[in-house]
Structures are given as C-alpha cells and as structure tokens.
Amino acid sequence: MIKKNDVVNLNYCLKNSKGEELDRSDKDQPFAYLHGMGQVVPGLEKALEGLAIGDKKEVTVSPAEGYGDFVPTLKTQVERSNFPKDVDIKPGMQFEAEAEDKRRIIFEVISIEGDKINIDGNHPLAGETLHFSVEVMAIREATQEELTHGHAHGEGGAHHH
Ligand code: ZN
C-alpha cells in the first residue's frame, strides 16, 4: 500500500477536460516518484495514498489541487531592466521571481517587444481540471539516499548520478 516515503512506479495517462491527451508515462519504463514529497500534484498524490500494486484508478483533479488556478495578473509585461544584463533573453526561457506573498514563481518569457518583455507565471496547465488514469506497477521503500535527495533513483526516476 502506498504510503509516505515509498518509491512508486506508475503507468499514467493525463487528459484535459476535452479528452485531449496531455502526457503519458513511457510505455517501457513506468514513471517513478517518491510518495509524500509533492513530486506529483497534490490531488493525485492524495488519490494514490493507500493503493496497492496492480490497482488502477481514474482520478479527477481540480485546478486548486493540480497546477493552480489561472491567475491573469501573472501574465504581464515587464521592463528589460528587470532581467540580468548579461543574459540574452529569448522566448521560452524561465526565470524565478518572488511574488508579493513571498512565494517563488517560475516565469516563462513569452515574447519580446523592444525593451518590454511579455512573461507568464502561470503553469502551462494552470486552470485545467486534470484527468489521470493510473496503474500502480511497483511499490518499494525508499533507500536512505533517496530520502536524503528527496526523489526516486533508478528506472524511471532521477538520472543525475
Ligand atoms: Zn538523487
């Protein structure tokens, strides 16, 4: 049964409310994550808690428990002078900034108009109700090293070492 600090292997498919497929796990290699660490959206993590190997589940996740509501004010235009001088700003680049409530927000550069830069701090899936189909492929206890790093290692996990 999935519980905090388990490494879970999942097959999943993610669709939006229109039924369009947004993402799915690799056919040959289930996605691996460390449960209870916020590596999957809160609504999905909650739904996976307590599932066993072989369980399949359809999970609907509201924006609030997914990638957040779409916040229009996060889509805005800022002066070039707000960015580091030595960086060649291009669409698609991401920057971290601090919001008024002190939360760290990742902004993506959308376009550049002279000295004005259009940015969007919404997650690409903000405002979307998420429809996951999941199948639990494996569950094991995390190793001490994985707990220290805060993520799963091995097949389907982090490959940084
Ligand atoms: Zn690691």
Q: What is the pTM of this model?
A: 0.79
**pLDDT tens figures, 90-133:** 999 999 888 777 878 889 999 999 999 999 999 889 999 999 99
**DSSP 8-state class, residue 5:** T
**Separation CA 28–CA 62 (nearest Å):** 29
Side chain identity, residue 22? L
* CA angle (155 as vertex; 152, 160 as ends), nearest 5: 60
Judge if 6-67+127-157 and 72-120 fold alike in CATH terms: no
Q: What is the CATH number of domain 6-67+127-157?
A: 3.10.50.40
**Separation CA 8–CA 152 (nearest Å):** 8
- Which pLDDT value is given to residue 99? 72
- Phi and psi torsions of 157, nearest 5°: -105, -150
Q: How far is the CA of 39 from the centre of ligand 1 (A)?
A: 13
What residue segments make up the domains of the chain, in order of their start? 6-67+127-157, 72-120
Q: Is the pLDDT of residue 159 over 80?
A: no
**Separation CA 120–CA 147 (nearest Å):** 33
- Which pLDDT value is given to residue 160? 65
Q: How far is the CA of 160 from the centre of ligand 1 (A)?
A: 6
**pLDDT tens figures, 28-70:** 889 999 999 999 999 999 999 999 999 999 999 999 999 999 9
Distances (CA, A) of 94 to 3, 91, 102: 33, 9, 18
What is the third-level CATH fold of 72-120?
Thrombin, subunit H (2.40.10)
Q: How far is the CA of 14 from the centre of ligand 1 (A)?
A: 26
Q: How far is the CA of 142 from the centre of ligand 1 (A)?
A: 11
